[in-house]
Structure 1
Amino acid sequence: MFSFLSSTRSTLGQAARRLVQQRQPSLVRGRADLAPKNVDPRYLRRHKGVIPINIGGSIKGTTLAFGEWGIRIKGLGVRLSAKQLSTAQDVLLRKMKVIKGSKVYLRVFPDVPVAIKGNETRMGKGKGTFEYWATRVPTGRVIFEVGGVPIREELAREALRQAASKLPTTMEFISRKSLPRLGSILVAPETPSTDSSKPEVHPGSQS
Protein backbone atom coordinates (compact mmCIF):
# COMPACT_ATOMS: atom_id res chain seq x y z
CA MET A 1 0.00 0.00 0.00
CA PHE A 2 1.38 3.38 -0.98
CA SER A 3 2.20 5.65 1.92
CA PHE A 4 2.65 9.37 1.40
CA LEU A 5 4.64 9.64 4.63
CA SER A 6 7.16 6.95 3.61
CA SER A 7 7.68 8.45 0.16
CA THR A 8 8.23 11.88 1.71
CA ARG A 9 10.80 10.47 4.13
CA SER A 10 12.72 8.73 1.34
CA THR A 11 12.75 11.90 -0.76
CA LEU A 12 13.99 13.99 2.16
CA GLY A 13 16.66 11.40 2.94
CA GLN A 14 18.00 11.47 -0.61
CA ALA A 15 18.08 15.26 -0.60
CA ALA A 16 19.96 15.28 2.73
CA ARG A 17 22.53 12.81 1.40
CA ARG A 18 23.08 14.92 -1.71
CA LEU A 19 23.53 18.01 0.46
CA VAL A 20 26.11 16.26 2.65
CA GLN A 21 28.03 15.06 -0.40
CA GLN A 22 28.10 18.58 -1.81
CA ARG A 23 29.46 20.00 1.46
CA GLN A 24 32.26 17.44 1.71
CA PRO A 25 35.61 18.78 0.48
CA SER A 26 36.97 17.48 -2.80
CA LEU A 27 39.99 15.28 -2.09
CA VAL A 28 40.87 14.36 -5.66
CA ARG A 29 44.42 15.58 -6.19
CA GLY A 30 45.65 17.57 -9.15
CA ARG A 31 48.20 16.39 -11.64
CA ALA A 32 51.17 17.92 -9.80
CA ASP A 33 49.95 17.55 -6.19
CA LEU A 34 51.66 15.16 -3.79
CA ALA A 35 48.60 13.41 -2.37
CA PRO A 36 46.76 10.10 -2.81
CA LYS A 37 44.55 10.02 -5.89
CA ASN A 38 41.16 9.21 -4.37
CA VAL A 39 40.43 9.18 -0.66
CA ASP A 40 37.18 8.51 1.13
CA PRO A 41 36.49 11.54 3.39
CA ARG A 42 35.12 9.20 6.06
CA TYR A 43 38.60 7.82 6.78
CA LEU A 44 40.59 11.05 6.95
CA ARG A 45 40.94 11.18 10.73
CA ARG A 46 43.70 8.83 11.84
CA HIS A 47 45.97 8.55 14.83
CA LYS A 48 49.04 10.74 14.90
CA GLY A 49 51.43 7.77 15.04
CA VAL A 50 55.15 7.78 15.78
CA ILE A 51 58.31 7.96 13.68
CA PRO A 52 59.38 4.37 12.87
CA ILE A 53 62.67 3.06 14.26
CA ASN A 54 64.42 0.19 12.50
CA ILE A 55 65.17 -1.98 15.52
CA GLY A 56 65.03 -5.22 13.54
CA GLY A 57 68.22 -4.55 11.60
CA SER A 58 66.59 -3.70 8.25
CA ILE A 59 68.58 -1.40 5.95
CA LYS A 60 65.90 -1.23 3.25
CA GLY A 61 65.54 2.20 1.67
CA THR A 62 68.90 3.52 2.92
CA THR A 63 70.81 3.16 -0.36
CA LEU A 64 70.31 4.46 -3.89
CA ALA A 65 68.05 2.46 -6.19
CA PHE A 66 67.48 4.62 -9.32
CA GLY A 67 69.92 7.52 -9.54
CA GLU A 68 73.63 8.16 -9.13
CA TRP A 69 73.46 10.74 -6.33
CA GLY A 70 71.01 11.37 -3.52
CA ILE A 71 70.31 12.65 -0.02
CA ARG A 72 69.13 10.74 3.04
CA ILE A 73 68.26 11.63 6.60
CA LYS A 74 71.25 11.79 8.92
CA GLY A 75 69.59 13.43 11.92
CA LEU A 76 66.46 12.41 13.77
CA GLY A 77 63.48 10.94 11.99
CA VAL A 78 60.83 13.47 11.08
CA ARG A 79 57.34 13.85 9.67
CA LEU A 80 57.57 15.56 6.27
CA SER A 81 54.55 17.33 4.85
CA ALA A 82 53.54 17.30 1.20
CA LYS A 83 54.31 21.02 0.93
CA GLN A 84 57.87 20.54 2.18
CA LEU A 85 58.50 17.70 -0.25
CA SER A 86 56.97 19.66 -3.13
CA THR A 87 59.16 22.69 -2.38
CA ALA A 88 62.34 20.59 -2.28
CA GLN A 89 61.30 18.77 -5.45
CA ASP A 90 60.71 22.06 -7.29
CA VAL A 91 64.20 23.22 -6.33
CA LEU A 92 65.72 20.02 -7.71
CA LEU A 93 63.72 20.16 -10.94
CA ARG A 94 64.71 23.78 -11.50
CA LYS A 95 68.40 22.99 -11.00
CA MET A 96 68.35 19.78 -13.07
CA LYS A 97 66.42 21.05 -16.08
CA VAL A 98 69.61 22.52 -17.58
CA ILE A 99 70.97 18.95 -17.88
CA LYS A 100 69.19 17.25 -20.77
CA GLY A 101 67.85 13.81 -19.83
CA SER A 102 68.29 14.19 -16.07
CA LYS A 103 65.65 12.76 -13.74
CA VAL A 104 64.62 13.42 -10.16
CA TYR A 105 63.31 10.52 -8.06
CA LEU A 106 61.23 10.98 -4.90
CA ARG A 107 61.59 7.91 -2.67
CA VAL A 108 58.86 8.75 -0.12
CA PHE A 109 55.22 9.72 -0.57
CA PRO A 110 52.88 11.67 1.74
CA ASP A 111 49.93 9.38 2.45
CA VAL A 112 49.24 10.08 6.15
CA PRO A 113 46.40 12.58 6.76
CA VAL A 114 47.06 15.13 9.51
CA ALA A 115 44.10 16.66 11.34
CA ILE A 116 44.49 19.86 13.36
CA LYS A 117 42.17 21.72 15.72
CA GLY A 118 42.20 25.48 15.98
CA ASN A 119 44.14 27.41 18.60
CA GLU A 120 42.45 28.18 21.93
CA THR A 121 39.79 25.54 21.33
CA ARG A 122 38.08 23.85 24.26
CA MET A 123 38.80 20.18 24.84
CA GLY A 124 36.44 17.57 23.51
CA LYS A 125 33.95 17.70 20.63
CA GLY A 126 35.87 15.27 18.47
CA LYS A 127 39.01 15.34 16.41
CA GLY A 128 40.08 18.31 14.31
CA THR A 129 39.55 18.69 10.59
CA PHE A 130 41.88 17.49 7.85
CA GLU A 131 44.74 19.91 7.12
CA TYR A 132 47.46 18.32 4.97
CA TRP A 133 49.15 15.09 3.89
CA ALA A 134 52.42 13.95 5.43
CA THR A 135 54.75 10.97 5.69
CA ARG A 136 56.81 9.61 8.59
CA VAL A 137 60.42 8.83 7.66
CA PRO A 138 63.07 7.34 9.97
CA THR A 139 66.78 8.09 10.20
CA GLY A 140 68.74 6.82 7.19
CA ARG A 141 65.89 6.87 4.68
CA VAL A 142 66.70 8.15 1.18
CA ILE A 143 64.47 11.09 0.23
CA PHE A 144 65.64 12.27 -3.22
CA GLU A 145 67.79 10.82 -5.99
CA VAL A 146 69.05 12.37 -9.23
CA GLY A 147 70.27 10.49 -12.27
CA GLY A 148 69.13 9.41 -15.71
CA VAL A 149 72.30 10.73 -17.37
CA PRO A 150 75.87 11.17 -16.11
CA ILE A 151 75.87 14.18 -13.76
CA ARG A 152 78.97 15.75 -12.29
CA GLU A 153 79.29 15.40 -8.56
CA GLU A 154 79.70 19.16 -8.04
CA LEU A 155 76.40 19.94 -9.79
CA ALA A 156 74.50 17.16 -8.02
CA ARG A 157 75.91 18.11 -4.63
CA GLU A 158 74.91 21.76 -5.00
CA ALA A 159 71.39 20.96 -6.24
CA LEU A 160 70.78 18.42 -3.47
CA ARG A 161 72.20 20.83 -0.88
CA GLN A 162 69.64 23.46 -1.84
CA ALA A 163 66.84 20.88 -1.74
CA ALA A 164 67.99 19.63 1.68
CA SER A 165 67.84 23.17 3.05
CA LYS A 166 64.06 23.09 2.53
CA LEU A 167 63.61 20.04 4.77
CA PRO A 168 63.42 20.27 8.60
CA THR A 169 66.17 17.78 9.44
CA THR A 170 69.84 17.09 8.80
CA MET A 171 70.56 15.41 5.47
CA GLU A 172 73.68 13.80 4.00
CA PHE A 173 74.90 13.52 0.41
CA ILE A 174 75.36 9.92 -0.81
CA SER A 175 76.47 8.09 -3.94
CA ARG A 176 76.38 4.55 -5.24
CA LYS A 177 79.41 3.69 -3.14
CA SER A 178 77.92 4.94 0.13
CA LEU A 179 77.33 2.35 2.84
CA PRO A 180 73.81 1.56 4.04
CA ARG A 181 72.74 3.15 7.30
CA LEU A 182 71.06 1.55 10.29
CA GLY A 183 69.98 4.46 12.44
CA SER A 184 73.13 6.41 13.24
CA ILE A 185 75.44 3.50 12.32
CA LEU A 186 76.94 2.84 8.90
CA VAL A 187 76.74 -0.87 8.06
CA ALA A 188 79.94 -2.14 6.46
CA PRO A 189 79.85 -5.31 4.32
CA GLU A 190 81.03 -8.48 6.00
CA THR A 191 84.51 -9.67 5.03
CA PRO A 192 85.29 -13.40 5.00
CA SER A 193 87.42 -14.25 8.01
CA THR A 194 90.59 -16.33 7.50
CA ASP A 195 91.54 -18.47 10.49
CA SER A 196 95.23 -19.44 10.23
CA SER A 197 94.95 -21.96 13.10
CA LYS A 198 93.08 -24.46 10.92
CA PRO A 199 95.22 -26.50 8.52
CA GLU A 200 94.56 -26.06 4.85
CA VAL A 201 93.13 -29.12 3.12
CA HIS A 202 94.04 -29.44 -0.55
CA PRO A 203 91.81 -31.39 -2.89
CA GLY A 204 93.06 -34.92 -3.49
CA SER A 205 95.09 -35.11 -0.29
CA GLN A 206 94.59 -38.04 2.11
CA SER A 207 93.95 -37.37 5.79
Structure 2
Amino acid sequence: MLMPKRVKYRKAHRGRMRGEAHRGASVVFGEFGLQALDRAWVTAQQIEASRRAVTRFIKRGGKLWIRVFPDKPVTKKPAETRMGSGKGNPEFWVAVVRPGRVMFELAGVSEDVARE
Protein backbone atom coordinates (compact mmCIF):
# COMPACT_ATOMS: atom_id res chain seq x y z
CA MET A 1 0.00 0.00 0.00
CA LEU A 2 1.25 3.47 -0.84
CA MET A 3 1.89 5.82 2.08
CA PRO A 4 4.62 8.25 3.14
CA LYS A 5 7.58 6.87 5.05
CA ARG A 6 7.40 9.71 7.56
CA VAL A 7 5.43 12.94 7.85
CA LYS A 8 5.99 16.18 9.70
CA TYR A 9 2.46 16.25 11.11
CA ARG A 10 0.44 13.12 11.88
CA LYS A 11 -3.00 14.68 11.36
CA ALA A 12 -4.00 17.06 8.56
CA HIS A 13 -6.84 19.48 7.94
CA ARG A 14 -9.48 18.34 5.47
CA GLY A 15 -8.91 21.30 3.15
CA ARG A 16 -10.69 22.34 -0.05
CA MET A 17 -10.57 20.78 -3.51
CA ARG A 18 -11.45 23.85 -5.56
CA GLY A 19 -9.86 24.63 -8.92
CA GLU A 20 -8.25 22.47 -11.54
CA ALA A 21 -4.92 20.71 -11.73
CA HIS A 22 -2.20 22.74 -13.40
CA ARG A 23 0.76 20.64 -12.33
CA GLY A 24 0.67 17.03 -13.48
CA ALA A 25 -1.95 17.73 -16.14
CA SER A 26 0.04 16.46 -19.14
CA VAL A 27 1.48 13.09 -20.16
CA VAL A 28 5.20 13.06 -19.34
CA PHE A 29 6.51 9.51 -19.01
CA GLY A 30 4.36 7.26 -21.22
CA GLU A 31 2.40 7.45 -24.45
CA PHE A 32 -1.14 7.32 -23.03
CA GLY A 33 -2.61 8.74 -19.85
CA LEU A 34 -5.71 8.41 -17.67
CA GLN A 35 -6.93 11.90 -16.77
CA ALA A 36 -9.32 12.75 -13.93
CA LEU A 37 -12.54 14.49 -14.97
CA ASP A 38 -13.84 15.18 -11.47
CA ARG A 39 -12.35 16.08 -8.09
CA ALA A 40 -12.05 13.38 -5.45
CA TRP A 41 -9.99 11.80 -2.71
CA VAL A 42 -8.41 8.65 -4.15
CA THR A 43 -7.40 6.23 -1.40
CA ALA A 44 -4.25 4.13 -1.37
CA GLN A 45 -6.43 1.00 -1.62
CA GLN A 46 -8.10 2.33 -4.79
CA ILE A 47 -4.72 3.15 -6.37
CA GLU A 48 -3.42 -0.33 -5.55
CA ALA A 49 -6.56 -2.04 -6.92
CA SER A 50 -6.34 -0.08 -10.18
CA ARG A 51 -2.61 -0.83 -10.46
CA ARG A 52 -3.32 -4.56 -10.13
CA ALA A 53 -6.14 -4.44 -12.69
CA VAL A 54 -4.09 -2.51 -15.25
CA THR A 55 -0.94 -4.63 -14.87
CA ARG A 56 -3.02 -7.79 -15.21
CA PHE A 57 -4.60 -6.43 -18.38
CA ILE A 58 -1.48 -5.11 -20.16
CA LYS A 59 0.52 -8.25 -19.29
CA ARG A 60 4.31 -7.99 -19.76
CA GLY A 61 4.26 -5.79 -22.84
CA GLY A 62 3.65 -2.40 -21.34
CA LYS A 63 4.87 -0.17 -18.55
CA LEU A 64 2.67 1.65 -16.03
CA TRP A 65 3.45 4.87 -14.15
CA ILE A 66 1.37 5.99 -11.17
CA ARG A 67 1.35 9.81 -11.11
CA VAL A 68 -0.58 10.32 -7.85
CA PHE A 69 0.64 9.61 -4.33
CA PRO A 70 -1.54 9.37 -1.20
CA ASP A 71 0.15 11.86 1.12
CA LYS A 72 -2.87 13.11 3.12
CA PRO A 73 -3.90 11.22 6.27
CA VAL A 74 -7.63 10.81 6.95
CA THR A 75 -8.58 10.33 10.59
CA LYS A 76 -11.51 8.41 12.03
CA LYS A 77 -12.89 8.12 15.53
CA PRO A 78 -13.67 4.63 16.86
CA ALA A 79 -17.23 3.32 16.71
CA GLU A 80 -19.56 4.14 19.62
CA THR A 81 -17.32 6.91 20.94
CA ARG A 82 -18.78 10.02 22.51
CA MET A 83 -18.28 13.36 20.82
CA GLY A 84 -15.30 15.43 21.85
CA SER A 85 -11.99 14.22 23.26
CA GLY A 86 -9.97 15.34 20.25
CA LYS A 87 -9.44 14.26 16.69
CA GLY A 88 -9.39 10.56 15.82
CA ASN A 89 -6.38 8.52 14.79
CA PRO A 90 -5.16 8.34 11.16
CA GLU A 91 -7.07 5.54 9.46
CA PHE A 92 -6.01 5.66 5.79
CA TRP A 93 -4.17 7.81 3.25
CA VAL A 94 -5.62 9.67 0.26
CA ALA A 95 -4.37 11.57 -2.76
CA VAL A 96 -6.24 14.80 -3.53
CA VAL A 97 -7.12 14.67 -7.25
CA ARG A 98 -8.44 17.69 -9.12
CA PRO A 99 -9.93 17.75 -12.64
CA GLY A 100 -7.27 17.49 -15.33
CA ARG A 101 -4.77 15.54 -13.26
CA VAL A 102 -3.08 12.63 -15.09
CA MET A 103 -3.35 9.73 -12.67
CA PHE A 104 -1.79 6.87 -14.65
CA GLU A 105 0.40 6.64 -17.74
CA LEU A 106 1.00 3.70 -20.07
CA ALA A 107 3.68 2.91 -22.63
CA GLY A 108 4.52 -0.06 -24.81
CA VAL A 109 0.91 -1.01 -25.59
CA SER A 110 -1.37 -0.39 -28.56
CA GLU A 111 -3.99 2.35 -28.49
CA ASP A 112 -6.79 -0.24 -28.34
CA VAL A 113 -5.31 -1.82 -25.20
CA ALA A 114 -4.71 1.61 -23.66
CA ARG A 115 -8.32 2.66 -24.31
CA GLU A 116 -9.59 -0.59 -22.79
Q: Taking structure 2 as the reference length, what is the TM-score of the superposition?
A: 0.89
Partner of 1:153: 111
Q: Report how far residue 52 of structure 1 moved.
A: 4.0
Question: Superposition pairs for residues 17-166 of structure 1, below 5 Å?
Answer: 33-39=1-7, 43-54=9-20, 59-74=22-37, 76-99=38-61, 102-147=62-107, 149=108, 151-158=109-116
SS in 2 for 1:89: helix
Identity of aligned residues (%): 39
* Shift, 1:109, TM fit: 0.3
Q: CA separation in 1, counterparts of 2:48 and 2:16?
A: 22
Structure 1 portions without partners, runs of 5+: 1-32, 159-207
Structure with higher strand content: 2
Higher relative contact order (CA 8 A, sep 6+): 2
Check conservation: 1:77, 1:139, Cα contact below 8 A. Answer: yes
- SS of the residue corresponding to residue 88 of structure 1 reads helix
Distance 2:13 2:26 in 1: 30
Cα drift, residue 97 of structure 1: 2.3
Specify the code of the residue in structure 2 equivalent to 1:156.
Answer: A
2-structure distance, mates of 1:130, 1:60: 27
Question: Which has the greater radius of gyration?
Answer: 1
Deviation per residue, 1:132-190 (Å, 9 max, x gap): 1111111111100101x3x21111111xxxxxxxxxxxxxxxxxxxxxxxxxxxxxxxx
Q: Which residue of 2 aligns with 1:203?
A: none
Match of residue 16 from structure 1? none
- What displacement does 1:120 show? 4.0
Listed as ranges, the gaps of 5+ residues in structure 2 are none
The code of the aligned residue for 2:51 comes to Q
Greater fraction of residues in helix: 1
Aligned length: 116
TM-score (norm 1): 0.52
- Structure 1 pair 105–52 and aligned structure 2 pair: CA distance change class (3 A): farther
What CA deviation, in whole Å up to 9, does each residue of 1:97-126 have, x standing for no partner? 241xx2101111001111111344321100
